[in-house]
Amino acid sequence: MPATKPVTHTPGPWYVGQTQNDADIVYAEGRPNEYRRIAEIDSDNYEANARLIAAAPALLAALQKIVSAEPEAEPNDEYDDMEGAFNDGYEHGVWDMAQIARAALALAEGSGAK
């Protein structure tokens, strides 16, 4: 399984806040008493959009964890008993989730379809 790309974005956690001019922003902590602006949000759904953007580092980590749990090979449908059928179903679920997570990671890394 190929390794994920190294992190090149501003490390999380990210937070939602406001500037002194009441602009809604997503930011990361910097040096003491400083912040690093990630995004300024100016849209109808600014609160929801800001929360989603601020969650990006945690979502990225969750996707990477899902991909790391991916089975080595796609599960097959051959099993001899009920336990084998259950395990195969579980492995198919993990496989499917890992494929979805891998596609989302590709978008985050800039190598996925737009």
- The percentage of the chain sitting over the pLDDT mark of 70, rounded to a whole number, equals 71
* For the chain, domain boundaries: 1-54, 56-114
In terms of phi and psi (left: phi > 0; alpha: psi -120 to 50; beta: otherwise), the region of 33 is left
DSSP category for residue 114 = -
Say which residue, 37 or 95, is predicted with more confidence. 37
Per-residue pLDDT of 5-26, as tens digits, reads 666 888 889 999 888 877 788 9
| Among 28-32, 44-48, 90-94, the range of highest mean pLDDT | 44-48
d(CA 59, CA 70): 17
Count of positions (residues) in the chain: 114
In terms of phi and psi (left: phi > 0; alpha: psi -120 to 50; beta: otherwise), the region of 93 is alpha
pLDDT (0 to 100) of residue 1: 44
CB atoms within 10 A of CB 50: 23
Per-residue pLDDT of 84-99, as tens digits, reads 555 666 677 777 888 8
